[in-house]
Amino acid sequence: MTVESIQNVTVIGAGTMGHGIAEITAMAGYSVTLQDVDSDALAEGYRRIEWSLDKLAENGVIESVDTVAGRIDTETETASAVKNADVVIEAVSEDLELKRTIFEDIDGHASTDAILASNTSSLSVSKIASEISRPERAVGLHFFNPPVKMDLVEVIYGAKTSDQTVDRALSFVNSLDKKPIEVQKDVFGFVVNNILHGFIDEPAWMVSRGEATIPEADAAMVHCRNYPMGPFELADLSGIDIAYDVRQAGDIPIPPVMQERVDAGEYGRKAGVGYYDYENGDGPMYEQGDGVTFDTLHVEACMANKAAELLEQDVTTVEDIDTGMQLGAGFPVGICERADEIGLGTIVQKLSTFHEKYGESRYEPAEYLVQLVEEGHAGVAAGAGFYEYDTE
């Protein structure tokens, strides 16, 4: 069901994310305007929507392609695209200056109570909206790729976003049949990517230090810990260059194995070679037995530490972290639930050992985690950890 106060939605940028967001918004019953400055990209975006709707109709997910496609108009001009919009979702390339300019442009042409949302995956919502007249209407709406399949949307507060804007944004996301999680502070990486950095980077540090091999790490995380993909396999799929740029932008140290791939132009699947060879090889090559010696606790302890830091900073809740990691990253269970199973004392001990050995600040156990352990909230075995457990 659509939200009463929202009829018209404009999506700016018809690329990978924009066309998908326009598609699901039309499926939910809204009138959609898809805008792109590049008319070829716009036509291609619309063609991709029609292709996807055909598949959904074949599978009985929607009744009529024409009805849904008929709700979508296309536009190349921003001013006319946004003038009747109740919600504008910007999904152009990940470039702060470009997004800032577009937000100013939208601000000048959209109605005063329209929500102005950005689908940025790593930039600051506050910075994107810093020059607009009503920053209280700006919000992050971080959809995951592909929007038609991924059920999660992170709803992010910028520094000046009002509760009313977030409430409307949450209702809008629910009306798309997606699950929103609230990110109450505009921290780098928001929730899901913040924790996912640990999943990808820690194995890369271990390989860089000669403590493990790539197939060992991937085999262990998939076969021993049930993650849907190994960290290196995932990095190859999502693009090592993109991961690299995000870390550069966030001042996050780059593991040497990642640097080497970037220097060699070996960006992953799209380049034909990354951590694995897709051109002359068979892509990810690992077997169940490869993972038995890999230290999975190292990786999971670092992710749990990141989760604790987010809780310490009041960015989000335990439940939203776990929902986010399951729906946004395909984790088999949330990282807080996993940490409780492992035992928070074990995790703090592991992190302290690393902190002492490597001196890196990311290994320092979060105060929140230490406090939980000190209070006897050491995980499932203790009856409480990140969660409370019914021990009856």
Q: Where on the chain is the footprint of ligand NAD (CB under 6 A)?
A: 12-18, 35-38, 41, 91-94, 98, 102, 119-121, 144-145
Question: Least Å distance between CB 354 and ligand NAD?
Answer: 31
Query: CB-wise, 25 or 35, nearer to ligand NAD?
Result: 35
Question: SS3 string of the chain?
Answer: CCCCCCCEEEEECCCHHHHHHHHHHHHCCCEEEEECCCHHHHHHHHHHHHHHHHHHHHCCCCCCHHHHHCCEEEECCHHHHHCCCCEEEECCCCCHHHHHHHHHHHHHHCCCCCEEEECCCCCCHHHHCCCCCCHHHEEEEEECCCCCCCCEEEEEECCCCCHHHHHHHHHHHHHCCCEEEEECCCCCCCCHHHHHHHHHHHHHHHHHCCCCCHHHHHHHHHHHCCCCCCHHHHHHHHCHHHHHHHHHHCCCCCCHHHHHHHHCCCCEHHHCECCCECCCCCCCCCCHHHHCCCCHHHHHHHHHHHHHHHHHCCCCCHHHHHHHHHHHHCCCCCHHHHHHHHCHHHHHHHHHHHHHHHCCHHHCCCHHHHHHHHCCCCEHHHCECCCECCCC
Cα three-residue angle 296-390-373, rounded to 5 degrees: 50
Structural Rg of the chain based on CA atoms: 22
Q: In the bound complex, which residue of the shown chain has the CB atom lying closest to ligand NAD?
A: 15
Residue 175 vs residues 2, 145, 206, 352: alpha-carbon distances, Å: 5, 19, 43, 45
**Structural contact between residues 117 and 88, judged by C-beta atoms closer than 8 angstroms:** yes
Question: Least Å distance between CB 92 and ligand NAD?
Answer: 4
Query: Sign (positive/negative) of CA torsion 258, 259, 261, 267?
Result: positive
Question: Least Å distance between CB 44 and ligand NAD?
Answer: 8
Query: CB-wise, 121 or 305, nearer to ligand NAD?
Result: 121
Q: Residues with catalytic annotation?
A: 121, 142, 154, 193
Query: CB-wise, 12 or 378, nearer to ligand NAD?
Result: 12
Query: CB-wise, 19 or 350, nearer to ligand NAD?
Result: 19
Query: CB-wise, 22 or 335, nearer to ligand NAD?
Result: 22
Query: CB-wise, 73 or 94, nearer to ligand NAD?
Result: 94
Question: Least Å distance between CB 88 and ligand NAD?
Answer: 11
Question: Least Å distance between CB 101 and ligand NAD?
Answer: 7
Question: Least Å distance between CB 189 and ligand NAD?
Answer: 12
Round to whole Å and give the CA distance between 148 and 48.
12
Close Cβ partners of 250 (under 8 Å, ≥ 6 residues apart)? 122, 188, 189
Question: Least Å distance between CB 25 and ligand NAD?
Answer: 15
Question: Least Å distance between CB 175 and ligand NAD?
Answer: 20
Query: CB-wise, 37 or 285, nearer to ligand NAD?
Result: 37
Query: CB-wise, 116 or 339, nearer to ligand NAD?
Result: 116
